[in-house]
A and B are shown apart, each in its own frame.
Chain A
Amino acid sequence: MVKKMRDLVKDKFDVRVIITVIYMTMVEFELFNFAQTVVNIAGNAAWISIILGTIFVSINTYILSKLALRFPDENFFEYCQRIWGKTLTRIIAVGYFLYWFSFISLLLESFSKANQTLFLHETPLIVPLILLILGAIWLVAYGMAPIIRFFQLMLLFVILPLLLLIILSIREIRWDSYLPILGNGIIPILKGALFYGGVFQGLEIILFITPFLNGRKKLIKMSLIGVNITSLMSLILATISIGILGVQGIKESIWPGMDTVGIIQLPGFLIERYELFLTMPWLIGIFTTICIFLYLLAYGIVQVFGCQFRKGIIFAVGVLAVAATYFCPNLAWLMKMRIGITYVTFVFGLFIPLLTLLVAVVKKQKGSEVNE
């Protein structure tokens, strides 16, 4: 039995909160990479790829928002039943569950690898993982409202260090790093832009958060603002990284973000190791992204399969995600899988919602009107 989403929603938020949710969902391990794969594809014109990719992501956001607004009081799995039928919805839902589960596991594994390499060399991998997942389970168990409140609280701790880092980095940039513009032609730029579209994992949150929002007529505008702010930060960080490390430096680095920070020098400044400005947003970003995906996964299972033990499901999913990290043999595999999941994102973040929207329009199916 599928529970109605509107029955579960007790605490509603202003639609502007979607900006925070999108930003906190998107910011995660990519912070360490500074759009490395896009640089690998497009070279020093990666910044053009990111700008073009942002247009693509904005169109994707528009499609998702349109679909969400068509059924404003329901989440994706609810109206999917009416559009695709019960069986097909279950198949689609299982696809989403596998995608989200893989993504959580990869995030946990990325966290674990970086943690062991950079910070806690001796600590058994499982310890920080357990602490992270327990925190996430605890927050997710209370539902979407506390997650959003937590995101709002943490936003400044993510944004401010990154802004400070950007300011500190500017003097290290070599401005000729961006030449020649279009040196490798337009094709790598377009490929980079396409890849960048897949980097936005978790954009489908728009399809699930809409019932929690007031003033949903502004959903499209606010979602687009959220996506573009996130992309702007990504653009700035990637551009800085190209300017400081150069394309070759980025290609030869595992975590260009860390290398970029390691080059900054400001004699007389309070601290000498500026990694703090990157690791703090990174840690918060990973946690918030895991929370939102854990929420989608656990609540999705509860909703689609009508399970009674919500907290048990959240716990089980969290524990299984930690266990799944042990299947990743090394960092090389992890990097390959991260690139792989970026392409899978097109299926679940764009293709299925777009098809759903088209079918809903053709069948003239829609939910209640948006009155706020």
Chain B
Amino acid sequence: MNKGRFKFCLSMLLLFCLLTGCWDVLDISKRAFITAIGLDRAADPENKYKVTFEIVNPFMLNDPNYATANIVQTVEGDSIGEILEVLQARINRPLSLSHLRVLVIGEEQARQDFRDVWDFFHRHRDVQLRLRLLIVQGEDAKDIIETKPLFDKYLAEELVSLTRVKPLLSYANVASIHEVYRRLAESDGRGLVSRTILTKDDSIVIHHGGGVYNNWKLIGWLNKDEIQEINWILGNANATIDTKIGEGIYSFNVDKKSCMIKPFYENQQVSFDIMIKIDGRLLQQQGEHMDMTQTGNIIKLQDAFSRNVKSQTEAAISEAQKNYRVDYLCLDSSFQKHFPEVYKNLDWEEIFPNIPVNVSVKTNITRFGLAP
């Protein structure tokens, strides 16, 4: 055997040593994937958290004999890391957070500083920041995680689908954990978080409404109608609204929406102009009918829808300014970007309730369906 061939054979033999894999090789079926986490305050005062995990059993996923493929476990402890270790003692496969898709936080826990929770999930190597964040009103997150999914085989899939339904639901303000953190960080801990509730018999998860945050803690709730009003400013959902003109009720569905927030600082007075432009289609006429082929009628309806959206937007602003006195509409963020030096010297919490906000809406009915 010549020298070159010997070297080649030796290299090949050495390469075979590498084919056995590395220390971390673990078959996908030998892992326990946590897909959803429910975070609550612990009932036991000695512990801080009560965490409920949804773990997917891959063998049950494709087996039609099983309606669901999830295992739900609840553990209490002082930190999420410690709780994971306790959970590992119950599960005979290595736990993995790489497919964690939903984080549900119970109301009591949501009233604590959000940054403590964020730190764990941001720091963890496996967690993706696109993880969906939901806050539960009036219940524990555990109750949500234990709910039986309607369509899917595990709840995380169902909850994620619920936040991705197209067209986007205008009754909710969907955000990932990173979006929520960024929103709160830019506004000194003020902002909105998506809400979930359970039906009275605890059987179905409903995703709408929102939670109001101030100083990084949950301070109150907004119902679905209030969130729809807020979404004229913050959201990108295609809302459907009903407007009454005389004896007729007209339904309008938004195709496209843009909102421009323009801050002003004149004579040491902060003010805002909010300009909303919406394009959409007429869905239904009830009562008195209008002939939509007449341009005059279109203009009349457009004006009516604009007035309706304007009053909804003003109601949303009034709710924030007068009721909560918290700028969860992120107007401060907009002001800060245009007047950074002025903003540094302002006490935003103090001035926000009295800031004049001028709303203007322009509606364009682009289509009215197959009937005139």
Contacts and interface: CB of A to CB of B under 8 A. Distances in A.
Nearest to A246: B182
Contact of B22 (A117, A120, A259, A265): A120
A249 B179 CA distance: 10
B23 interface: yes
A245 B98 contact: no
B98 to A, nearest CB: 7
Interface string A178-191: 01100110000000
The prevalent SS among residues of B at the interface is helix
B129 A259 contact: yes
A141 to B, nearest CB: 13
Interface residues of B, number: 25
Interface residues of A, number: 28
Contact of A180 (B176, B178, B182, B338): B338
Most A CB contacts (10 A, CB to CB) among B122, B130, B185, B336 go to: B130
Contact of A248 (B129, B130, B185): B185
Given A180-B338, A263-B178, A267-B164, A273 B128 contact: yes
Contacts of B182: 245-246, 248-249
Contacts, number: 62
A372 interface: no
B24 interface: yes
Contacts of A273: 98, 128
A246 B186 contact: yes
Nearest to A266: B130
Contacts of B336: 180
Given A120-B22, A121-B24, A265-B130, A180 B337 contact: yes
Given A180-B337, A248-B186, A249-B178, A122 B130 contact: no
Interface string A121-163: 1111001000100000000000000000000000000000000
B125 A118 contact: yes
A272 B128 CA distance: 10
Given A179-B338, A252-B122, A263-B178, 16 more contacts: A118-B125, A120-B22, A121-B24, A123-B23, A127-B23, A180-B340, A245-B182, A246-B185, A248-B185, A259-B129, A262-B128, A262-B130, A263-B128, A263-B129, A263-B176, A267-B164
The 3 A-B residue pairs with the shortest CB-CB distance in the complex, in nearest-first order: A179-B337, A122-B23, A123-B23
28 contacts: A120-B22, A123-B22, A127-B22, A127-B23, A176-B333, A176-B334, A176-B337, A179-B337, A180-B336, A180-B338, A180-B340, A183-B337, A183-B340, A245-B182, A248-B182, A248-B185, A249-B178, A249-B181, A249-B185, A252-B122, A259-B178, A262-B128, A263-B129, A263-B130, A263-B178, A265-B130, A265-B176, A267-B164
